Amino acid sequence: MSYLEGKRIAVNNIIKYSKTGKMNKLLIVLLILSIHSSAQNKINFPTPPASPVASFMQELGNTEITISYGRPFARGRKIFGGLVPYDSVWRTGAGESTQLVCNDEIILGDKLIPPGRYSFYTIPSPANWIIIFNTDTTIHGAFGYSQAKDLVRITVPSQQLTEFQEVFTIDISDIDNRGGGTLQLRWENTSVKIPVRSTADEKVCRQIEEIVLRQQNQTPDVLFQAAAYYYATSRDLSLAAEWVEKAEQTDGNNFSYPNLLQKIAGDLKQYQKAIAAAKRALVIAEKTKMSNQVSQLRKRIEELENKYSGRN
């Protein structure tokens, strides 16, 4: 029996029972209204949200950046200059204010953002957008927004998308090995990109300059760390090779030193030096039974020898 059929039978029984004189008219009306109200309350379609909530975390350098926001759909509407007015503060999404959390300082554009939680607002215009990070994270959307609580404001140009973006999207892309990336907003036919980076790279480079170059710390581990970082971040490879050579001269039994040197020398196209370093690393790998490294180094030596013979 369906719910509506059961409702009809219940109402008929109330009416039938009332004819016995055991129920007054007010009670009959209340019972019928109660059944009708109950039927209405039972209808609840589980429709998806108009603006689903999203959250993502991206690591840049040593910093974790988390952004939480509502993602509205275009649904055939004119977005910028329409639904989202130009030259007005926008919540940069839907629902609650968009928020950014960073556990260490970051640089957004040319502005330093200390670790913390911030609300993320924008002021769109046809050619440029103002990007705002505000210290008040308690308000709903942009209602109650106060410029006095802004931490930073950055102006960036907007760009035209070649493909229509139906749902509003925030992401961090173009990530590099120095802890940098691009914070991007996309919706409708508009894209806005803001450079963002961790300060970890600057801190490491300052330490290397102070400890290795100024204090002339020549311990093998320090020289190796400095050389490995210069190699990973594509800096002065000649200086990195010099550092790791000094490290190997001090400790000739450490596999990591000649193995890094063969990589650096190979990138510098110093193939003889690379081959010799790879062979020294291979000896250590065979002696210490590093089977994977042994296989990789044998292939690497063959590759370097082919490059060297090809160049000559």
Amino acid (1-letter code) at residue 25: K
Q: For strands 116-123 and 128-134, give the pairing.
A: antiparallel
Pair 189, 70 in one domain: yes
So what's the pLDDT on residue 85?
96
Q: Report the chain (312 residues): mean pLDDT per 10 consecutive residues.
A: 51 54 53 56 79 95 96 96 96 94 96 96 97 94 92 96 97 95 97 96 95 94 97 96 96 96 96 96 94 95 90 66
So what's the pLDDT on residue 5?
55
- Of 156, 181, 198, the one marking the end of a domain is 198
Q: Decide if 48 contacts 71 (C-beta within 8 A).
A: no
- Which tokens in the block code for residue 2? 């369906």
- When divided into structural domains, the chain yields a total of 3
Evaluate whether residue 239 is within a structural domain. Answer: yes
Pair 161, 33 in one domain: no
So what's the pLDDT on residue 25?
57
Q: How many CB atoms lie within 10 A of CB 90?
A: 20
Evaluate whether residue 184 is within a structural domain. Answer: yes
Q: Decide if 277 contacts 258 (C-beta within 8 A).
A: yes
Give dist(CA 86, CA 128) in Å, integer.
10
Q: Decide if 80 contacts 190 (C-beta within 8 A).
A: yes
Give the residue from 285, 290, 241 showing the smallest Cα distance to 262.
Answer: 241
| CATH number where 271 lies | 1.25.40.10
pTM for the predicted model, two decimal places: 0.77
Evaluate whether residue 47 is within a structural domain. Answer: no
Range of 217's domain?
A: 201-311
Element (H or E) spanning 101, and its range? strand 99-102
Pair 75, 183 in one domain: yes
Give the residue from 224, 236, 233 showing the smallest Cα distance to 261.
Answer: 224
Pair 239, 119 in one domain: no
Q: Please, what is the Cα angle at 129 between 126 and 135, to 5 degrees? A: 150
Evaluate whether residue 48 is within a structural domain. Answer: no
Pair 258, 122 in one domain: no
Which long-range CB contacts under 8 A does 246-250 form with residues at least 24 apart? 246/218, 246/220, 247/220, 247/221, 247/223, 248/220, 248/280, 250/218, 250/219, 250/220
Q: How many CB atoms lie within 10 A of CB 123?
A: 18
- Which tokens in the block code for residue 195? 């450079």
Give the residue from 74, 77, 113, 124 showing the smallest Cα distance to 94.
Answer: 74
- Which tokens in the block code for residue 98? 């968009």
Pair 278, 154 in one domain: no
